[in-house]
Amino acid sequence: MNNNNQITADVTVIIPAYNMEKFIGKSLDSVKAQTRLPKELIIVNDGSTDSTLAIIKKWISSHEKILNVTLINKTNGGLSSARNTGIKACKTKLFALLDADDCYAATFIEKAEQAFSAEEDLALFFANQRVVDEEGNKLFDWLETKNIVNLATKCLHNDILLLTEPVIPSLINGNYISCSASVFNKQKLTDQNGYNEAIKAGEDTEFLIRNLSDKKIAFTFEELAIVLRHSNSITQSKRHLVHVGRICALDMHRQLLLQHNVTVNKVIKEQFSHCYYQLSLLGCKPLFEFYLFAQKNISLKESPSVKDWFRALKVSFGKLLLSK
């Protein structure tokens, strides 16, 4: 329990963790280092099989006088399941979702609190993120290169901007709202059911589309989260899953997107094209398996191109030769 004199913010930080022994310590330390401590820190151990749980328990024992920490252990159910567990356990008005391999800048919660104090109807505050490699080197600019730079805004407080147009149409080709740099007003979300656990990648896009239509959103270009790209991040063999998740999200919320004048079929076809290309780099079997899945489960029927099939054949034939 927090026994020091530092005033806490009415926010719960939720950290889902699965086999993050290498990174979880830094993530937890970044919460402890906040200029405004959260009222509660909820850590959801999602069935880790490495030393993640032991590291968490040791960290809690060293910081229980500084932070109010709740540890939840559950069988492995995936990231969305772990996030939902934390959200359901959250007792505060605001919650923040920090991935276990990411970190906060020291003023993240303080800046979020300023945004929610300036606009009581705010549903979401998010910040820019600093994307780094394992050596801490910045890889590229984030928000400055995204569609958000084209959206209309007004100043809410200091360098915090309030969006004055809907955010949904700008998210459909790629989500730029970092989960690890976001604070949500639980009461203002459209759907209280949390993340769709059937979507294994790109789940943030579906969650945002479902919850933030016509809601008030504020953000800052200040880099207040440090997001790590490492060997366990989305790799070539999994990249297509992001496009799959996005296709499912677009198809699922077709009517809502049409209300925002989004050309849904055109965007879905573009996502199919990206997806089939990524799958063709893995060979014929995964390409064909997803083609069958899409025909059965997605309303817009889109097939791989001839180029995709030839590329997949070439990859499969090359793997066959290498195996001999």
CB 29 within 8 A of CB 63: no
Place of tokens 């958000």: 148
Q: Kindly report the pTM of this predicted structure.
A: 0.90
CB 12 within 8 A of CB 95: yes
DSSP string computed for 162-229? EE-S-SHHHHTT-----GGGEEEEGGG-S-TT-S-TT--SSHHHHHHHHH-TT-EEEEEEEEEEEEE-
For CATH 3.90.550.10, list the domain ranges present in the chain: 8-228
CATH superfamily, domain at 8-228: Spore Coat Polysaccharide Biosynthesis Protein SpsA; Chain A (3.90.550.10)
How far apart CA 33 and CA 28 sit, in angstroms, is 9
pLDDT per residue, tens digit, the chain (324 aa), is 454 445 678 999 999 999 999 999 999 999 999 999 999 999 999 999 999 999 999 999 999 888 999 999 999 999 999 999 999 999 999 999 999 999 999 999 999 999 999 999 999 999 999 999 888 899 999 999 999 999 999 999 999 999 999 999 999 878 999 999 999 999 999 988 899 998 878 889 999 999 998 999 999 999 999 999 876 655 445 677 888 888 888 999 999 999 999 999 999 999 899 899 999 999 999 999 999 988 988 888 899 999 999 999 999 988 776 665
The number of beta carbons lying within 10 Å of the beta carbon of residue 277 is: 18
Amino acid at 46: D
